[in-house]
Chains A and B, each alone.
Chain A
């Protein structure tokens, strides 16, 4: 009897592995095991429209019940995979069940990084990763007056936009000397910080947190320099840690991520992995990297599913990401890290422009603000390895689309 595929994890990568495996003709049983009480759902709205009440719970599921039923994908919810028995080819669940498999897919994702300071356990100190987290945060936000966010990454700034719009006094404490330090170049970071400040956000750069104080409930955040900031709600948004423990205990190669090759195969040929939990080679980077994005989870999952179905489909999609903050639509394509020059197309004061990043004369990334067309074109250019000169990119009158047509 065939045991088929077991997928551990319950989000973008897990659902896409199952869906793509079926599309590729994989006909054996497929079971998805997730520790969450609900099937795969969208996370991006959790820090955006869902918190603001603009996206309703019914809009969150990634796939319908009909999908799981019609595609014969079994969802095992509320159960955690505790260990992998490689020789016995099975996964042991927290409820004691043992699931035998022929192929295993790890889509365990990532979890918020804890802040190792006293007071982290006080009431009112929250993280944001799951729908349960978002519901807790929303309830708290309604009652809060002083909100402190630790970390000026995407989730921190998106939550800040929602909290400011809700009329709260909001402070962001960031260790680096700019916002979004990991994601965007200094010029764009400064532009984004200005937009937030103009809306009333208090951004403290180069500031650390040494303690969260309160009596059962959090009351203040104490910074490294001794400054105290009043807080009745603290969101810790200082990045994520990949969930590698399950893979590591089974002896799979891991290094801040489950190591996979271009075909999403782990160090064990029967096991694939995709999404936030992997460290993978990329045609767009010199070093294997870990990405935290919907694009990466979906596209790598498609590769993992192809591998399981016996089709070799290397993962080489150009990375892209989006973030919505107030009326700023930020879209990023490519990897800007390591650029040696940058030019701007359009006028930042109009709030509509793109920054083109170059390395040794070649285009490597584009960050767009309210320019979705340029973002989409950027995806095509980078995929085709086409590079306008920096002069062409900076000239709004130059027809970039024409470069595609000529290619």
Chain B
């Protein structure tokens, strides 16, 4: 099963296995990884599942669609070019090892 590495706010890392077909957000919720709130449960409506994709994986993750891109303009922490909504990143074998950094805050 592919794994995702979450870099927490305190700088520590959590590596968890995330089944293909689920999302990076779900991987965090199901493994009690702190810092991803996901208030809308993955509907792409809340922007509280924000993560920064580490540079090494930037090219491997398919780009955000129009809705995600627009919603990203409203994240609570700083929006960077590496910003993504983790509910919109679907796990695939190709993303094994994907490393994402959890932002300072998820809500205003």
User: Which residues of A line the B interface, CB within 8 A?
Assistant: 42, 44-45, 48-49, 55, 58-59, 61-64, 66-67, 70, 294-295, 298, 322, 324, 329, 331, 370-373, 375-377, 379-380, 383, 401
For the complex formed, measure the closest distance between the CB of A376 and the CB atoms of chain B, giving whole angstroms: 2
- Among residues of B, the one whose C-beta sits closest to the C-beta of A23 is B34
Between-chain CB contacts (< 8 Å), 22 pairs: A44-B41, A44-B43, A59-B26, A63-B29, A63-B32, A64-B31, A64-B32, A70-B32, A294-B40, A322-B43, A322-B46, A324-B43, A324-B45, A370-B67, A371-B70, A372-B44, A372-B70, A372-B74, A373-B70, A376-B47, A380-B74, A380-B108
Grouping DSSP codes into helix (H, G, I), strand (E, B) and loop, the A interface class, with mixed when no group exceeds half, is helix
Which residues from 45 to 61 on chain B have a C-beta closer than 8 Å to any C-beta of chain A?
45-47
CB distance from A44 to the nearest CB of B (A): 6
Name the contact of B41 in the complex, choosing from A42, A70, A379, A401 (C-beta under 8 A): A42
Q: Is the CB of B70 within 8 A of A48?
A: no
A44-B41, A294-B40, A373-B74 are contacts. A329–B31 as well, Cβ < 8 Å?
A: no
Tell yes or no: B82 within 8 A of A by CB: no
> Is the contact region of chain B dominated by helix, strand, or loop, or is it mixed?
loop
Write the nearest CB–CB distance from A95 to chain B, whole angstroms.
Answer: 29
Chain B residues with CB under 8 Å of A45's CB are 41, 43
CB distance from A190 to the nearest CB of B (A): 23
How far apart sit A63 and B46, CA to CA, in the bound complex (Å)? 17
With a CB–CB cut-off of 8 A, which chain B residues contact A62?
A: 29
Task: Indicate whether A64 sits within 8 Å of B29 (C-beta atoms), given known contacts A42-B41, A322-B46.
Answer: yes
Is B104 located at the chain interface by the 8 A CB criterion? Answer: no
Distance of A58 Cα from B44 Cα, bound (Å) = 18
Whether A59 and B42, one on each chain, are in contact in the complex, defined by CB atoms closer than 8 angstroms, is yes
10 smallest CB-CB distances across A and B, nearest first, come from: A376-B74, A372-B71, A322-B45, A373-B70, A66-B32, A373-B73, A42-B41, A67-B32, A372-B70, A64-B32
Taking CB atoms, residues of chain B closer than 8 Å to A379 are 74, 108
Distance of B6 from chain A, by nearest CB (Å) = 14
Q: State the interface size on chain B (CB cutoff 8 A).
A: 22
A74 to B94, CA, bound (A): 38
**18 additional A-B residue pairs with CB within 8 Å, beyond A44-B40, A61-B30:** A44-B43, A45-B41, A45-B43, A55-B42, A59-B42, A62-B29, A64-B32, A298-B39, A322-B45, A329-B44, A331-B45, A372-B44, A372-B45, A372-B67, A372-B74, A373-B73, A373-B74, A377-B74
B101 to chain A, nearest CB (A): 20
Q: Which of B31, B32, B45, B75 has the most CB of A within 10 A?
A: B45
**Are B40's CB and A322's CB within 8 A?**
yes
**Which residues 6-46 of B have a CB within 8 angstroms of A?**
22, 26, 29-32, 39-46
Bound complex: CA A228 to CA B49 (Å):
47
* Contact of A294 (CB < 8 Å), options: B29, B31, B39: B39
A324 partner residues in chain B, CB cutoff 8 A:
43, 45
Residues of chain B contacted by A49 (CB below 8 angstroms): 43
Residues of A within 8 A of B41 (CB): 42, 44-45, 59
What distance in Å separates the Cβ of B96 from its nearest Cβ neighbour in chain A?
A: 20
Report B68 CB to chain A, min CB distance, Å.
8
Docked pose: A371 CA to B44 CA in angstroms: 12
Give the docked Cα–Cα distance between A71 and B30 (Å).
Answer: 14
Bound-state Cα–Cα, A222 to B71, Å:
44
Q: Could you tell me the distance between the alpha carbons of A322 and B43 in the complex, rounded to whole angstroms?
A: 9
Q: How far is the CA of A295 from the CA of B42 in the complex (A)?
A: 14
Give the residues in chain A near B26, CB-CB below 8 Å.
59
Which among A42, A67, A373 is the interface contact of B71 at CB below 8 angstroms?
A373
Select from chain B the residue with minimum beta-carbon distance to A12.
Answer: B39
Partner of B73, one of A70, A322, A377: A377
Contact present for A66 and B31 (CB under 8 Å)? yes
Return the chain A residue nearest B48 by Cβ: A298
Report chain A residues within 8 Å CB of B73. 373, 376-377, 401
Q: Could you tell me the distance in whole angstroms from the C-beta of B106 to the nearest C-beta in chain A? A: 11
Contacts of B42 in A (CB 8 A): 55, 59
Q: Which of B39, B45, B46, B108 contacts A383 (CB 8 A)?
A: B108
A207 to chain B, nearest CB (A): 31
Residues of B within 8 A of A373 (CB): 70-71, 73-74
A45 to B46, CA, bound (A): 14
